[in-house]
Protein backbone atom coordinates (compact mmCIF):
# COMPACT_ATOMS: atom_id res chain seq x y z
CA UNK A 1 0.00 0.00 0.00
CA UNK A 2 1.26 3.46 -0.90
CA UNK A 3 -0.42 6.54 0.45
CA UNK A 4 0.34 10.20 -0.16
CA UNK A 5 1.79 12.42 2.53
CA UNK A 6 -1.53 14.24 2.74
CA UNK A 7 -3.47 11.03 3.28
CA UNK A 8 -0.98 9.90 5.90
CA UNK A 9 -1.40 13.14 7.82
CA UNK A 10 2.29 13.96 8.02
CA UNK A 11 4.29 16.05 5.55
CA UNK A 12 7.78 14.93 6.63
CA UNK A 13 9.56 12.48 8.88
CA UNK A 14 12.62 13.45 10.95
CA UNK A 15 14.92 10.86 12.51
CA UNK A 16 17.44 11.17 15.28
CA UNK A 17 20.49 8.98 14.60
CA UNK A 18 22.49 7.89 17.65
CA UNK A 19 20.60 5.29 19.64
CA UNK A 20 17.64 5.43 17.27
CA UNK A 21 18.86 4.32 13.85
CA UNK A 22 22.33 3.24 14.92
CA UNK A 23 23.24 1.37 18.09
CA UNK A 24 25.92 3.91 18.91
CA UNK A 25 25.10 5.03 22.45
CA UNK A 26 27.39 2.39 23.91
CA UNK A 27 30.11 3.55 21.53
CA UNK A 28 29.70 7.15 22.70
CA UNK A 29 29.98 5.89 26.28
CA UNK A 30 33.14 3.97 25.43
CA UNK A 31 34.76 6.99 23.77
CA UNK A 32 33.75 9.44 26.52
CA UNK A 33 34.83 7.18 29.36
CA UNK A 34 38.17 6.50 27.67
CA UNK A 35 39.05 10.06 26.65
CA UNK A 36 37.54 12.01 29.55
CA UNK A 37 38.83 9.41 31.99
CA UNK A 38 42.37 10.12 30.82
CA UNK A 39 41.72 13.77 31.77
CA UNK A 40 40.66 12.90 35.31
CA UNK A 41 36.88 12.71 34.88
CA UNK A 42 35.61 9.70 36.90
CA UNK A 43 33.03 8.79 34.28
CA UNK A 44 30.95 5.62 33.99
CA UNK A 45 28.04 4.66 31.75
CA UNK A 46 25.45 6.06 34.16
CA UNK A 47 27.25 9.41 34.11
CA UNK A 48 27.23 9.44 30.30
CA UNK A 49 23.45 9.28 30.39
CA UNK A 50 23.39 12.65 32.18
CA UNK A 51 24.48 14.34 28.94
CA UNK A 52 22.55 12.19 26.48
CA UNK A 53 21.20 14.22 23.56
CA UNK A 54 23.60 17.14 24.12
CA UNK A 55 25.92 18.37 21.39
CA UNK A 56 29.39 16.93 22.01
CA UNK A 57 30.94 20.33 22.81
CA UNK A 58 28.22 20.85 25.42
CA UNK A 59 29.20 17.47 26.89
CA UNK A 60 32.87 18.34 27.19
CA UNK A 61 32.06 21.79 28.62
CA UNK A 62 29.75 20.14 31.16
CA UNK A 63 32.43 17.76 32.40
CA UNK A 64 35.13 20.44 32.31
CA UNK A 65 33.02 22.51 34.71
CA UNK A 66 32.63 19.51 37.02
CA UNK A 67 36.22 18.29 36.85
CA UNK A 68 38.44 21.05 35.39
CA UNK A 69 41.54 19.95 33.48
CA UNK A 70 44.36 22.17 32.24
CA UNK A 71 44.51 21.13 28.59
CA UNK A 72 43.49 20.38 25.90
CA UNK A 73 40.47 22.66 25.63
CA UNK A 74 36.95 21.22 25.84
CA UNK A 75 36.53 21.98 22.13
CA UNK A 76 39.66 20.01 21.29
CA UNK A 77 38.50 17.12 23.47
CA UNK A 78 35.18 17.12 21.60
CA UNK A 79 37.03 16.64 18.30
CA UNK A 80 38.95 13.70 19.77
CA UNK A 81 35.76 12.09 21.05
CA UNK A 82 34.03 12.37 17.68
CA UNK A 83 37.09 10.93 15.94
CA UNK A 84 36.97 7.98 18.31
CA UNK A 85 33.23 7.44 17.88
CA UNK A 86 33.57 7.43 14.09
CA UNK A 87 36.30 4.80 14.36
CA UNK A 88 34.15 2.68 16.70
CA UNK A 89 31.06 2.96 14.48
CA UNK A 90 33.04 1.85 11.43
CA UNK A 91 34.70 -0.98 13.38
CA UNK A 92 31.77 -2.46 15.30
CA UNK A 93 28.65 -0.31 14.98
CA UNK A 94 25.30 -1.93 14.22
CA UNK A 95 21.90 -0.73 13.06
CA UNK A 96 19.18 -0.70 15.68
CA UNK A 97 16.58 -3.43 15.14
CA UNK A 98 13.81 -2.12 12.90
CA UNK A 99 15.70 0.89 11.53
CA UNK A 100 15.17 -0.26 7.94
CA UNK A 101 11.54 -1.07 8.76
CA UNK A 102 10.78 2.43 10.09
CA UNK A 103 12.46 4.07 7.11
CA UNK A 104 10.51 1.81 4.74
CA UNK A 105 7.19 2.85 6.32
CA UNK A 106 8.05 6.49 5.60
CA UNK A 107 9.17 5.70 2.05
CA UNK A 108 5.89 3.86 1.49
CA UNK A 109 4.03 7.02 2.50
CA UNK A 110 6.20 9.18 0.21
CA UNK A 111 7.37 11.32 3.11
CA UNK A 112 10.53 13.39 2.65
CA UNK A 113 12.94 12.42 5.40
CA UNK A 114 15.69 14.13 7.36
CA UNK A 115 18.22 13.18 9.98
CA UNK A 116 18.36 15.85 12.70
CA UNK A 117 21.04 14.94 15.19
CA UNK A 118 23.17 16.33 17.97
CA UNK A 119 26.14 14.63 16.33
CA UNK A 120 28.51 16.51 14.06
CA UNK A 121 28.04 16.31 10.30
CA UNK A 122 31.16 14.24 9.78
CA UNK A 123 29.89 11.53 12.12
CA UNK A 124 26.36 11.58 10.66
CA UNK A 125 27.65 11.26 7.09
CA UNK A 126 30.20 8.57 7.99
CA UNK A 127 27.59 6.49 9.81
CA UNK A 128 24.82 6.82 7.20
CA UNK A 129 27.25 6.01 4.38
CA UNK A 130 28.63 3.03 6.28
CA UNK A 131 25.18 1.50 6.71
CA UNK A 132 23.88 2.46 3.27
CA UNK A 133 21.16 4.74 4.65
CA UNK A 134 22.15 8.13 3.28
CA UNK A 135 20.22 7.67 0.03
CA UNK A 136 16.92 7.73 1.93
CA UNK A 137 17.36 11.20 3.43
CA UNK A 138 16.68 14.42 1.59
CA UNK A 139 18.38 16.39 4.36
CA UNK A 140 21.01 15.98 7.06
CA UNK A 141 20.99 18.64 9.76
CA UNK A 142 23.29 18.82 12.77
CA UNK A 143 22.89 20.78 15.98
CA UNK A 144 26.40 22.09 15.36
CA UNK A 145 24.66 24.68 13.16
CA UNK A 146 22.39 25.76 16.02
CA UNK A 147 23.03 28.01 19.00
CA UNK A 148 21.33 25.51 21.28
CA UNK A 149 21.16 21.73 21.19
CA UNK A 150 18.34 19.46 22.30
CA UNK A 151 16.09 19.81 24.30
CA UNK A 152 15.85 23.14 22.47
CA UNK A 153 13.69 22.55 19.36
CA UNK A 154 15.96 24.46 16.94
CA UNK A 155 17.48 21.42 15.23
CA UNK A 156 14.03 20.04 14.41
CA UNK A 157 12.54 23.39 13.41
CA UNK A 158 15.40 24.10 11.02
CA UNK A 159 15.09 20.63 9.50
CA UNK A 160 11.36 21.15 8.95
CA UNK A 161 11.97 24.55 7.37
CA UNK A 162 14.57 23.14 4.98
CA UNK A 163 12.17 20.36 4.01
CA UNK A 164 9.43 22.94 3.43
CA UNK A 165 7.19 21.26 6.00
CA UNK A 166 4.91 22.75 8.64
CA UNK A 167 6.39 21.65 11.99
CA UNK A 168 2.94 20.57 13.15
CA UNK A 169 2.90 18.04 10.30
CA UNK A 170 6.30 16.51 11.06
CA UNK A 171 6.86 13.14 12.70
CA UNK A 172 10.00 12.81 14.83
CA UNK A 173 11.60 9.48 15.78
CA UNK A 174 13.69 9.72 18.97
CA UNK A 175 15.32 7.62 21.66
CA UNK A 176 16.46 10.34 24.10
CA UNK A 177 14.40 12.28 26.65
CA UNK A 178 16.00 15.53 25.44
CA UNK A 179 14.97 14.69 21.89
CA UNK A 180 11.37 14.02 22.89
CA UNK A 181 11.26 17.36 24.70
CA UNK A 182 12.71 19.09 21.63
CA UNK A 183 10.19 17.47 19.29
CA UNK A 184 7.20 18.40 21.43
CA UNK A 185 8.54 21.95 21.92
CA UNK A 186 8.57 22.16 18.12
CA UNK A 187 4.87 21.08 18.04
CA UNK A 188 5.79 17.87 16.23
CA UNK A 189 4.52 14.34 16.69
CA UNK A 190 7.04 12.04 18.34
CA UNK A 191 7.59 8.30 18.41
CA UNK A 192 9.99 7.41 21.21
CA UNK A 193 12.09 4.27 21.47
CA UNK A 194 13.85 4.54 24.86
CA UNK A 195 17.14 2.81 25.48
CA UNK A 196 16.95 -0.09 27.92
CA UNK A 197 16.81 1.22 31.47
CA UNK A 198 15.57 4.68 30.50
CA UNK A 199 11.90 3.83 29.90
CA UNK A 200 10.75 5.41 33.16
CA UNK A 201 11.99 8.92 32.43
CA UNK A 202 9.13 11.41 32.55
CA UNK A 203 9.85 12.99 29.17
CA UNK A 204 8.68 9.85 27.41
CA UNK A 205 5.20 10.51 28.75
CA UNK A 206 5.00 13.40 26.27
CA UNK A 207 5.59 11.18 23.24
CA UNK A 208 2.66 10.25 21.02
CA UNK A 209 3.82 6.64 21.04
CA UNK A 210 6.47 4.74 23.01
CA UNK A 211 7.91 1.56 21.53
CA UNK A 212 10.27 -1.06 22.87
CA UNK A 213 11.79 -1.39 19.41
CA UNK A 214 11.29 0.08 15.94
CA UNK A 215 10.28 -3.44 14.94
CA UNK A 216 7.03 -2.90 16.88
CA UNK A 217 5.90 -0.12 14.51
CA UNK A 218 2.99 -1.17 12.28
CA UNK A 219 0.02 0.26 10.39
CA UNK A 220 -2.24 0.35 13.43
CA UNK A 221 0.33 2.18 15.52
CA UNK A 222 0.95 4.65 12.70
CA UNK A 223 -2.77 5.42 12.62
CA UNK A 224 -2.72 5.78 16.41
CA UNK A 225 0.03 8.41 16.21
CA UNK A 226 -1.81 10.31 13.47
CA UNK A 227 -5.05 10.30 15.45
CA UNK A 228 -3.43 11.35 18.71
CA UNK A 229 -1.28 14.11 17.24
CA UNK A 230 -3.79 15.72 14.94
CA UNK A 231 -6.56 15.60 17.53
CA UNK A 232 -4.49 17.80 19.83
CA UNK A 233 -2.10 19.70 17.55
CA UNK A 234 -4.21 21.07 14.73
Q: Can you give the residue ranges of every domain in the chain?
A: 5-23+95-233, 25-92
Please tell me the distance from the alpha carbon of residue 27 to that of residue 39, in angstroms, as a whole number.
Answer: 19
What fold is seen in the domain 5-23+95-233? Rossmann fold (3.40.50)
Work out the burial of residue 220: count CB atoms within 10 Å of its CB; fewer than 13 is exposed, 13-18 middle, 19 or more buried: exposed
Of 145, 130, 159, 157, nearest in space to 21 by CA: 130
What fold is seen in the domain 25-92? DNA polymerase; domain 1 (1.10.150)
Is residue 163 within 8 A of residue 12, CB to CB? The reply is: yes
DSSP state of 138: S
With bands split at pLDDT 50, 70 and 90, how would you rate the model's confidence at 17? very high
Please tell me the distance from the alpha carbon of residue 57 to that of residue 169, in angstroms, as a whole number.
Answer: 31
Is residue 136 within 8 A of residue 103, CB to CB? The reply is: yes
Q: Which residues are catalytic?
A: 16, 18
* Beta pairing partners, 211: none
10 dihedral zone (left: phi>0; alpha: psi -120 to 50; beta): beta
Q: Return all residues near 12 (Cβ < 8 A) that are at least 6 apart.
A: 5, 111, 112, 113, 114, 160, 163, 165, 169, 170, 171
148-200: per-residue pLDDT in tens? 889 999 999 999 999 999 999 999 999 999 999 999 999 999 999 998 778 88
- pLDDT of res. 50: 80
Is residue 172 within 8 A of residue 156, CB to CB? The reply is: yes
Give CA angle at 5 (145, 132), nearest 5°.
55
Please tell me the pTM assigned to this model.
0.89
Q: What's the Cα-to-Cα distance from 45 to each of 33, 49, 52, 151, 194, rounded to whole Å? A: 8, 7, 11, 21, 16
With bands split at pLDDT 50, 70 and 90, how would you rate the model's confidence at 233? low
With bands split at pLDDT 50, 70 and 90, how would you rate the model's confidence at 70? very high
Work out the burial of residue 152: count CB atoms within 10 Å of its CB; fewer than 13 is exposed, 13-18 middle, 19 or more buried: middle
Amino acid sequence: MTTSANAAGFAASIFDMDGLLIDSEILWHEAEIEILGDLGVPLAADGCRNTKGMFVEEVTEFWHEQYPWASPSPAEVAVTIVDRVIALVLAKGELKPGADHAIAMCVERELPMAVASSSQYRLIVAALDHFGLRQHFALIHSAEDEEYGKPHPAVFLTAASKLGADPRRCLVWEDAPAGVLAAKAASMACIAVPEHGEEGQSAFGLADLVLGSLLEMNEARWDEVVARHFTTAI
